[in-house]
Structure 1
Amino acid sequence: MSSASQRRTSSNYYHGTLRSVRWDCQTLTYITDFAYVGSGPYVELAKDLDFDFQAGVFQNLFGVFPIEQATDMYQIWEGNFLHYWLELEVFKVSTST
């Protein structure tokens, strides 16, 4: 099962992906958050944050780190996600099997 979301930024949206896999119980495999980078006609969607729980790594603009070093960043990301989703209702969450 996986979920995808879109966050509104001004008049645009950018995507995030959450993947969970069901074995004996639901397991969150990874979260990837994307952001627009560049300016004008050179804007592109790029990976901003990547929490790979299965591989045990966190990746951002500064490199790849052990997932344990991303605890604070994850809590900020999660709080923002929940606020945008539940309070501001700017996410479209979908699931598939």
Structure 2
Amino acid sequence: MKPTLVITGLPVRISHDLQTLLEQAISSALEDFPDEIPDGTTPATLTLNYRDPDYSATTGGYHPVEIRLERWDDGWHLRYVTDFAYVGQGWCTELAKELDFDFSVGEYTHSLMGEMSLAEVNEWFDVWQQSFCCYAQMDVFTLTVTPD
């Protein structure tokens, strides 16, 4: 049975490509973790980690992305999307949040701009999801799914 990704009520438009990627990840997780993810409408959560194994502070690459999904009575809901990037130089380089779309609390931030307005959220999310879906289709990411 195809999982239902609930995309109504979000302040952004979810593209067909992103919806398909997320539904595929949910379907795989339901098959891979049948004991950890109860059937039916029981609450459940999934954390999707998309990583470019070659991404580093010195050579660059495709930013790591973490996506959190929660299942409620009516289907799977997108709770947050976080895009990470290396910041700093030398010994103090660290992986930090660059873009954070936290739909669960309505907070949206960019590391350089701070909090975003709803208009900015729509623009940034649209650009982010187009790039992310393109990279995912190029198979640059390794996906790790963790049921919580």
| Structures share fold, TM-score greater than 0.5 | yes
Distance (whole Å) between structure 2 residues aligned to residue 90 and residue 2 of structure 1: 19
Deviation at 1:64, TM superposition (A): 1.7
1:90 aligns with 2:140: yes
Larger Rg: 2
C-alpha displacement of 1:66: 4.5
Who is 1:37 aligned against?
87
The 2-side partners of 1:11 and 1:63 are apart by: 23
- CA deviations 1:15-49 (Å, max 9, x no partner) are 22100001121100001111001222321111100
Report what 1:56 is aligned to. Answer: 106
Contact 2:62–2:140, Cα closer than 8 Å, also in 1 = no
Structure 2 match to 1:21: 70
How large is the Cα RMSD of the aligned pairs? 2.0
Moved more, 48-57 or 36-45: 36-45
Whether contact under 8 Å (2:49, 2:65) holds in the other structure is: yes
* SS of residue paired to 1:93: strand
How many angstroms does 1:68 deviate by? 4.9
TM-score with structure 1 setting the length = 0.84
Long gaps (5+) in structure 2: 1-45
% identical aligned pairs: 32
Q: Which amino acid aligns with 1:22?
A: R
Moved more, 10-19 or 46-55: 10-19
Q: How many residues align?
A: 96
TM-score if structure 2 supplies the norm length?
A: 0.57
Aligned to 1:73: 124
Distance 1:84 1:65 in 2: 24
- Report if aligned partners of 1:33, 1:48 keep a CA contact under 8 Å in 2: yes
Q: Residues 32-80 of structure 1, C-alpha deviation per residue, up to 9 Å, x if partnerless?
A: 1110012223211111000011111211122123445300100111011
